[in-house]
Every structure is written in C-alpha cells, then in structure tokens.
Amino acid sequence: MSIPAYITASGNYLPGQPIGNEEMESYLGAVNGKESRLRKKILKSNGIVSRHYAMDREQRSTHQNSELAANAIVDCLRKSTIDKSKVDMLAVATTQGDLPLPGMASVVQAVLQLPPCEILTTHGVCSSSMMALKSATNAVRLGDKRNAIVCASELSSRLLKKSRYEALDNQEFDFEAEFLRWMLSDGAGAMLIQDTPRQRGLSLRVDWIEILSFASSYDLCMSCGTTNQRAWTVKDGREARSSSQSSEPQNGKYSTAALATMPKVASPAKYLDEAVSWQDYDTYAEAERAGALLIRQNLNILQEIVKVGVDGFLRLINAGRIDPDQIDHFVCHYSSHYFRTEILKLSQMLGCYIPEEKWFTNLYTKGNTGAAALFIALDELISSNKLVPGQVVFCVVPESGRFCTAYAKLTVVEG
Amino acid sequence: MSTAEKMLTPTSDVQALLRDLTLAWFDFERRLSRIPIIERLERGEFTIEHYQMLLRNLRPQVVEGARWITRAASSFTADFAELRSKVIGHAYDEHRDYKLLEHDYVKVGGNLDDIVSAQRNIGTEALAAYLMQQASLPNPINLLGAMFIIEGLGQKMAERWALRIQSALSINEESTSFLSYHGKNDESHIDKMMSIFTNEPAAVERHAEIVKTARVVARLYALQLEEIDNV
C-alpha cells in the first residue's frame, strides 16, 4: 500500500510585464527589419492575447531559465509551511535548460542555495513537467521522501529572437521554423508534493499519473537540432512494422517475431542513416547557418495530436481509471485555441465529452509556456477559490514533440 | 421515438462500443501512415505509376467487397430484417464501384485490360477470404466492425488522399473519381454507425466480436496496401 501524495502548495513566475500581440515582435525583433506576415494569422488561430518574455526589446535576456525556475519555487515555498532547508527532493523539467549539461536541476539547486538533496532533471517538451511530477510523486508515495519540489520552466524566447533567423544562409521563408515564434513564451510553475495534506486550506491528492508516448508511430513533429525532421524515422523499422506483428508491444513485451524483424545493431546500415544532428556539423556556427538550431513544428502531422490525446483518454476510460462524468475541473494544456474546438468535437461523439464550463485554462493571458503551462494553470486554479473538497481535477498535457500525452487525476482534499 | 432522437441519445453501451472501435481506428491510421505507398503519398513523392499501381491493387478488393456484402445480407435471418435492408441497400449502392476505379485508371493513361485482369495481391487474398468466411456465418453482425473500418477509410482518408494525388500529379477530380466519391459523403460516418448501433440491440451484445472484426479487417486492409503488386 503506497502512501498518498499531495500537492500542498504551488507558485509561478512570469518575467516582466504582459506583452500584447502588437508588441511581441518588438521584443523578438523583426527578422531583417521586415514585419512578419504570419504573425497575425497564427495569433488568430491560437487565441493568445498576451504573454511574457525574459527578454528586452534589444533581445537581451533578462533572466536565465534556472532563475525563472528558482523564482517560481520561491513563490511556491512562500505559500507552504516548509522551509527550503527541509526540501528532500528537487525535480526540474524544461525543454531547454541554460546549459547542455549538467542537468537543469543542478543549476536551480545552486541558484536557490538548497542544501544537499536528491535531484532529477527531465528533458523533453511539454510533457517533461508531468514526468517530473510523476517521479517526485512516486518518491513520496514510496515513502522514500517526505516532500519534493517539482518545477517546470521555459525560456523559449532565446530560440525565437530575430538573430536566430538572420543567421541562416538560406533566407527563404520557412513556415515550419517560423510557426512556433508566435506560439511560445516564457515562464515557470512550481509545486510542492508532501505525504500529508496541508493543515489549513486545500491540497490536491495525486491519485495517478499516466504518460503514453506514440513516438514509434510518427515522425518528429516538434524539435530543435535538425533541419530534417523526417530523417529521424527508422526506415528499416517502418518495414519491420509492416510484418504481421502488431506495431505495438503487447503487455509491454515484444514478441520474438517482432524482435527478429527489428534492425540489427551490427548490420552496416545505421538506424537513422539520413539523420543529421546539430552536433554532427564541424562547427556550431555551421549548424546555425544551416538552420539546425531553429525550433521547428511539422505542420503536416500536428493535427494528429488530438487523436493521440483522445486515444490515451479512451484507454483510461476503458481501464476504469477515469469516468468523464466525475471530472469537475479539466485542465488541459492545449497549445492553441484551434485544438480546443477539435477536442470538443471528437469527445462529444464518443461520449467522453467534458462540458466547456469545466475547462480551465490561462493560455490566452499567460501564453503557451510549454512544459510550464500546466503548472502555471494549476497554480491559478488553486488560488481561484473554485476548488471544493471532493472535487476531481483532471489534467492533460499533450506534447507534439513526438506525440506523447500525460494525464493526471487529482482530488481536492481539505486538512 | 424517431430515428433522429435515437441518434442523439446513444446509450452508454453504444458509446463504449464506439470508443473501442475508435481505438481500433486510431491504431489503423497510425499503421497506414507507415505503409510505403501511403508514406510516399503523404510526402508528395508520388508518380502516375504509383497511382496506377494503387488503383490496380484496389480493384480486386472492391469487386470482392460487393460480393461479401451481398453474402452477408443473405446470412441474416428475418430477426434482423431491418439491418438486412440496410445491408442490401449498401450493396446496391456500391456494387459497381469498381467501374470508377477503371475509369480513373484509363483517365491517367492506364490500359483497361491491365486493371481488369489485375490479380488479388497477397493481402487482398487474406482480406477477401476472411470477409467472405465471416459473411457466410449466421447473422454476421460482427461485420459492422468491418464496415466501421472500411467505410471510415472512405470517409476519413479518401478525400485527403484524392487531394494529395491531385496535387502530386497535377490532375483533377475527374481522374480521382473513386476516392473523391467516397470522400464526399456528407453524412458523418460516426453518426451513421451510432445510429445503427443504437437501433440494433444485438450490436451491443456482440461488442467484443465487432471490435475484434474491426481489428482484423484493419490489419488485413493494411496488409493489402503493404503487399502492393505482390500477387
């Protein structure tokens, strides 16, 4: 029997003032002095009206990503009864830390001046936050730790500033590379996990967290570090999957027949014979000039994110983990208003519809802060007076990186 | 209660069936996207030869399709007269669809004799044999699962493929009449299935069989596309 784990406090940090749609290009900078022709179209589709950047109008960083994280943690601990000297574990999630190494949690621990403790860095895209939350929660549920701080932080504006685009040898318009410029922004959210609920006020019991990835079924959809997202799909693997075996492991194990058709390491062909990583260029400067350091979204397959999210949801319903009718608050990190409509349509047909009045989001005013978005939304929900003991909060974080969705069921508890 | 009202209030059992079928469908879609000829189409590296090849490989299955549907109709007893009427209607609507395929084939420069004499590929053999065998069993309600997949393909993918083929080959709808016709059905596929399941109590009773049939048909349909020209 595991020990229950509770979210007993939360915090957020959004750098600087909210920046409206008309101002955002003056922060990120107009590429080659020319106003973007895409900006308005993308903003109309995503519905975001303001966001925050840790960057000034000369594209100088105002913070490090680890500082955003540290500020959110300070905000969270301030609302808790725990002193930072008592933190047992620090789990930090981000899409891109300040340094390729060491892990971002090391830097955040140093910034916060936390005494020796266990750390964890999860790296991915949006769902990395839930990976950190799950590990931290499990550490508490096992009785391994009495408490854990979980933080998700993003500083994507550094990837989006004009100089990144001006550095390219080829200045032809590249929709795939510009799309996310008008989607992503900066911020951090943090939560404290403990083995007992807070004495005064409300806590959220973490009932379960499930993460389901479909990376083997799709090409890269959102990435940084390559100019060719398609090249990261194993060709032989595609043919292996064309055999009579199912493309997915049954009960977590591949059958011998499926294993036999997988590419062999010793064979002369590599798994990814056309893939080129930013690290394969002779110099990093060449990688940048080639466009390998831009953050890209593959728009041909982005719409699959809705099906992947619903697929996992249906599996959870079938497994009896969640009943759509029992959900009181639905916190879904959708990146764009467009997807909200798509999700509603599909779920309505399948009888797993969650009425719109139960949806909670702050995407439109806080921006799409990637991994941090769910925590920032949860923090606002917790402070909103909308929660009542006994209510169920259902969280979903779909990640387009290579199609991974994380789900969490939380229950509001008092004292 | 009118049919329209019934459609709007599916029972939770019907919804559970639709959810399982949707899961089977999602798995099918993911598998399709990894099949070489479909990948090619999605990438736009698709030539007239690829299109002709696709049409040649689809025709035998479409011809067989008309046969198993009519066989299924004859396997229903009077207890399922209403469903039988629907199946007969459906068979009547579609039993000459292979003509559209032949038309498209000739339109893009193919020789009529080549497509008419095209043999079933290895995957088509498996798909046709399975469907014919199931259609021969008494009251083959489980074939609603086959319908979910095959009709779903028509309504969810055909139009998309037709547009991709048109743009890759710079041809118009006249040369993609088979795919375009199947893609243009206005009635929502899932609404139609919901209505059938709601009006046919035996469907819910045979939930597991319907889902199993959908999964088998999805796998064999994909096999047919994987085994293009492997006759």
Kindly state whether residue A136 falls inside one of the protein's structural domains. Answer: yes
What is the number of other CB atoms lying within 10 angstroms of the CB of residue B126? 19
Kindly state whether residue A309 falls inside one of the protein's structural domains. Answer: no
Give yes or no for a contact between A379 and A11, defined as CB atoms under 8 angstroms apart: yes
Say whether A119 sits in a helix, a strand or coil: strand
Please tell me which residue of chain A has the smallest CA distance to B195: A349
Q: Is 90 exceeded by the pLDDT of residue A131?
A: yes
Give yes or no for a contact between A293 and A164, defined as CB atoms under 8 angstroms apart: yes
CATH number, residue B107: 1.20.910.10
pLDDT score of B191: 76
Read off the tokens for A8.
């007993």
Q: Is 60 exceeded by the pLDDT of residue A145?
A: yes
Q: How many domains does chain B have?
A: 1
Q: What mean pLDDT do residues A219-225 have?
A: 96
Kindly state whether residue B231 falls inside one of the protein's structural domains. Answer: no
Q: Which residue range(s) make up the domain with A136?
A: 6-199
Contact between A350 and B15 using a beta-carbon 8 Å cutoff:
yes
State how far the Cα of A77 lies from the Cα of B141, in Å rounded to an integer. Answer: 60
Kindly state whether residue A116 falls inside one of the protein's structural domains. Answer: yes
Kindly state whether residue A161 falls inside one of the protein's structural domains. Answer: yes
Say whether A190 sits in a helix, a strand or coil: strand
Read off the tokens for A199.
């004495």
Q: What is the pLDDT of residues B181-230, one digit of tens each?
A: 887 764 667 777 888 888 888 999 999 999 999 999 999 999 999 999 99
State how far the Cα of A226 lies from the Cα of A274, in Å rounded to an integer. Answer: 11
Most B-contacting residue of A314, A343, A348, A403 (CB-CB within 10 A), to test interface: A314
Q: Which residues, 6+ apart, have CB-to-CB distance to B12 below 8 Å?
A: A351
All residues of chain B having their beta carbon less than 8 Å from the beta carbon of residue A318 are: 16, 19-20, 23
Q: Which residue range(s) make up the domain with B153?
A: 3-226
pLDDT profile of chain B (231 residues), mean per 10: 47 89 94 92 92 96 91 95 90 85 96 96 97 97 95 86 94 94 70 84 94 98 96 92
Q: Is 50 exceeded by the pLDDT of residue A336?
A: yes
By a Cβ cutoff of 8 Å, what residues of chain B touch chain A? 10, 12, 14-16, 18-20, 22-23, 26-27, 29-31, 33-36, 39, 42-43, 188, 190-191, 194, 219, 223, 226
Residue A81's alpha-carbon distances to A9, A77, A109, A199, A243, in angstroms, are 9, 7, 19, 9, 57
Please tell me which residue of chain B has the smallest CA distance to A320: B16
**Nearest by CB: A350 against B19, B42, B223:** B19
Kindly state whether residue A293 falls inside one of the protein's structural domains. Answer: no
All residues of chain B having their beta carbon less than 8 Å from the beta carbon of residue A315 are: 23
DSSP codes joined into one string, B175-210: GGHHHHHHHT--S-HHHHHHHHHHH-HHHHHTHHHH
Mean pLDDT score of chain A: 90
**Nearest by CB: A349 against B35, B190, B219:** B190
ipTM associated with this complex: 0.81
Residues B73-79: contacts with CB within 8 Å, 24+ apart? Answer: B75/B135, B75/B136, B75/B137, B75/B138, B75/B139, B75/B140, B76/B139, B76/B140, B77/B138, B77/B139, B79/B139
CATH number, residue A134: 3.40.47.10
Q: Does A345 touch chain B (CB under 8 A)?
A: no
Read off the tokens for A20.
């409206």
Q: Phi, psi (5° rounding) for residue A80? A: -110, 180
Contact between A315 and B23 using a beta-carbon 8 Å cutoff:
yes
Kindly state whether residue A181 falls inside one of the protein's structural domains. Answer: yes
Q: How many domains does chain A have?
A: 1
Helix axes B48-75 and B81-94, enclosed angle (nearest 10): 150
Q: What is the pLDDT of residues A359-409, one digit of tens each?
A: 999 999 999 999 999 999 999 999 999 999 999 999 999 999 999 999 999
